[in-house]
C-alpha cells in the first residue's frame, strides 16, 4: 500500500468527446477528489469538466490568428501557457495526454523553465492515433520520438499500443502500460424499461454503436452486420455520434429495407442511459488502441462484437465478453452476434461482460498514476 502526499500538477489534453480527453478529465476529477490540486490546460474547457471542485482549475490557451500565419501556432501558445501556469502555481508535474502536440510543447516548456532553475517532470500518456496514425507521418516522427525521450515517464493505454510505439519510433525507453478506466458510478445498468419499450415495443433485440463516424470506425460494417442480424431476428439499431461518414451511412440506410428500424441519435452525453437498454454493442473498427467505448458498454452489461485489432482483444475477451473477428469479416461478426443474442446465451454473456469490466475500476487504476507522480 502506497501513501501519497497531496500533489500540485497540470493536465494537458484535448477538450473534446474523444477517448483521450475523457480519460484525462476523469483522471483529473478523481485526483481532485482525493485532495490533489489539478490544473487543466487546453484550448477549450473539457466536456467532462462539468463539476465544481475547489481543487480543480481550468486555464484556456488563447492565440491570435494573425494574417501572416496560414495556420495558428497553437503549439507555441500552449508552450507559453504551460510555462506561465507552472511558474504561477508552482506545478511539480505536467501530465500530457496524446503526444501531438502536447508532449512536444511540454518538453519545450521544461527546457525553458530549466534555464530559470525550475524543475518540471513530464508524464506522457499515449492514447492511440497519436502513435498508430498521425505520429507515423514522417513529418511528425522525429519530434514525437524526441518528445518521448525527453519525457520523464511514458505510459500507453494497452500492451498493443506499447508494441506499436516501439515498432514505429526510435524510442527504446520504458513504457508502462496503464489501461483506461471508467467511472462505475456512472456506467452501470440503469432501469430504463419505459425507454426500452419506446425503442423496441415488440421486445426486439437492441444493437448499439457509438463513435465519431470516421473511416477507421468502419460504420458501414455496423450497418452490414445489423442487416444480417435483422434478417434472422427482430432487431433495432441505435447509432450514437456524428462525424464525416454519417451522411454516407444515412444515405445507405435510406436505400435499404431496414431503414425504419435504424435510429441516428447524434452526439449524446448520457450514453450510459442508452447502453442500459442495449443487448449488443458493435465496434468493427480498423484499429483501436484500447476500446473505451466497448468497456463502457460492458460496464452496462452489454456484450461486444469487435475486431481483433489493437487493444480490443485485451478488453473484449473472445468467447467470454463477446466475440472478436478479423477486420471486415462482417459475416462472422453477424453469426457471432446471433449466437450471443440467443435467449439461452445472452444472460451469461451480459454477466461475463460486467464481471470483466470491473477490472477497470477507477479505484484500481488511480493509484498507478499516483505512484508515477
Kindly state whether residue 365 falls inside one of the protein's structural domains: no
Q: Are residues 202 and 170 in the same domain?
A: no
Same domain for 230 and 324, yes or no, is yes
> Does residue 160 sit in the same domain as residue 207?
no
| pLDDT 10s digits, 108-156 | 999 999 999 999 999 999 988 777 665 556 778 888 899 999 999 999 9
pLDDT range class, residue 17, cuts 50, 70, 90: low
Among 42-51, 194-203, 278-287, whose mean pLDDT is lowest?
A: 42-51
pLDDT at 126: 94
3-state secondary structure of 93: strand
When the pLDDT of each residue in the chain is averaged and rounded to a whole number, the result is 91
Residue at 184 is within a domain: no
Claim to verify: residue 236 and residue 315 sit in the same structural domain: yes
Preceding peptide of 101 cis, ω within 30°:
yes
- The 10s digit of each residue's pLDDT in 233-255 is 999 999 999 999 999 999 998 88
pLDDT tens profile 314-329: 999 999 999 999 999 9
Determine the pLDDT at residue 82: 97
The pLDDT confidence band at residue 1, using thresholds 50, 70 and 90, is very low
Whether 206 and 261 share a structural domain: yes
Note the pLDDT tens digit of each residue in 273-317: 999 999 999 999 998 989 999 999 999 999 999 999 999 999 999
Q: Return the percentage of the chain with pLDDT > 90, whole number.
A: 71
Q: Which of 178, 213, 232 is the last residue of a domain?
A: 178
Domain of residue 26 covers: 8-178
CA angle (54 as vertex; 52, 57 as ends), nearest 5: 75
Q: Are residues 82 and 118 in the same domain?
A: yes
Q: What is the pLDDT, as a whole number, of residue 161?
A: 93
Cα–Cα separations (whole angstroms), residue 197 to 21, 68, 110, 344, 346 = 34, 58, 56, 22, 19
Do 198 and 138 lie in one domain? The reply is no
pLDDT, tens digit (0-9, with 9 covering 90-100), for 148-191 = 999 999 999 999 999 999 988 888 899 999 999 988 888 888 87
Question: Do residues 32 and 81 share a domain?
Answer: yes
Q: Is residue 1 part of a domain?
A: no
Last residue of a domain, one of 128, 143, 178: 178
Tell me: do 119 and 23 sit in the same domain: yes
Last residue of a domain, one of 178, 203, 233: 178
Domains identified in the chain, total number? 2
Same domain, yes or no: 215 and 349:
yes
Residues sharing a CB contact under 8 Å with residue 183, sequence separation 6 or more, in sequence order = 26, 362
What is the per-residue pLDDT for 183? Answer: 84
pLDDT of residue 242: 92
- Domain co-membership, 271 together with 158: no
What's the grid cell of residue 332? 462472422
Task: Give this prediction's pTM.
Answer: 0.86
**Can you give the pLDDT at residue 188?**
87
Answer for the pair 224, 330: CB distance below 8 angstroms, yes or no. yes
Cell of 251: 444515405
Domain match, 137 and 231 both: no
**Contact between 173 and 124 (Cβ < 8 Å):** no
In a domain, 369, yes or no: no
Number of Cβ within a 10 Å radius of residue 271: 21
Question: The domain that contains 31 carries what CATH number?
Answer: 3.40.50.2000
Amino acid at each position: 500500500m502506497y501513501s501519497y502526499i497531496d500533489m500540485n500538477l497540470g493536465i494537458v489534453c484535448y477538450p473534446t468527446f474523444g477517448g483521450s480527453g475523457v480519460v484525462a478529465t476523469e483522471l483529473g476529477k478523481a485526483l481532485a477528489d482525493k485532495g490533489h490540486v489539478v490544473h487543466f490546460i487546453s484550448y477549450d474547457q473539457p466536456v467532462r469538466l462539468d463539476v465544481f471542485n475547489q481543487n480543480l482549475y481550468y486555464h484556456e490557451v488563447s492565440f491570435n490568428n494573425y494574417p501572416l500565419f496560414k495556420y495558428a501556432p497553437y503549439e507555441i501558445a500552449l508552450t507559453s501557457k504551460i510555462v506561465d501556469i507552472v511558474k504561477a502555481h508552482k506545478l511539480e508535474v505536467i501530465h500530457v495526454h496524446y503526444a501531438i502536440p502536447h508532449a512536444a510543447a511540454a518538453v519545450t516548456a521544461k527546457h525553458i523553465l530549466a534555464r530559470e532553475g525550475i524543475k518540471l517532470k513530464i508524464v506522457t500518456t499515449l492514447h492511440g492515433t497519436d502513435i498508430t496514425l498521425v505520429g507515423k507521418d514522417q513529418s511528425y516522427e522525429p519530434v514525437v520520438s524526441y518528445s518521448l525521450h525527453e519525457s520523464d515517464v511514458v505510459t500507453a493505454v494497452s500492451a498493443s499500443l506499447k508494441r506499436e510505439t516501439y515498432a514505429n519510433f526510435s524510442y527504446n525507453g520504458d513504457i508502462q502500460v496503464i489501461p483506461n478506466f471508467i467511472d462505475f458510478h456512472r456506467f452501470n445498468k440503469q432501469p430504463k424499461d419505459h425507454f426500452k419499450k419506446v425503442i423496441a415495443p415488440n421486445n426486439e433485440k437492441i444493437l448499439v454503436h457509438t463513435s465519431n463516424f470516421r473511416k477507421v470506425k468502419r460504420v458501414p460494417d455496423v450497418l452490414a452486420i445489423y442487416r444480417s442480424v435483422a434478417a434472422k431476428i427482430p432487431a433495432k439499431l441505435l447509432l450514437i455520434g456524428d462525424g464525416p461518414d454519417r451522411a454516407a451511412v444515412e444515405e445507405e440506410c435510406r436505400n435499404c429495407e431496414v431503414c425504419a428500424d435504424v435510429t441516428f441519435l447524434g452526439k449524446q452525453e448520457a450514453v450510459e442511459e442508452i447502453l442500459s437498454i442495449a443487448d449488443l454493442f458493435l465496434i468493427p473498427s480498423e484499429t483501436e488502441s484500447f476500446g473505451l467505448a466497448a468497456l463502457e458498454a460492458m460496464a452496462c452489461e452489454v456484450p461486444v462484437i469487435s475486431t481483433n485489432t489493437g487493444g480490443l482483444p485485451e478488453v473484449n475477451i473472445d468467447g467470454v465478453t463477446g466475440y472478436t473477428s478479423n477486420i471486415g469479416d462482417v459475416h462472422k461478426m453477424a453469426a457471432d452476434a446471433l449466437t450471443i443474442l440467443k435467449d439461452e446465451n445472452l444472460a451469461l454473456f451480459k454477466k461475463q461482460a460486467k464481471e470483466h469490466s470491473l477490472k477497470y475500476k477507477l479505484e484500481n487504476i488511480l493509484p498507478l498514476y499516483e505512484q508515477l507522480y
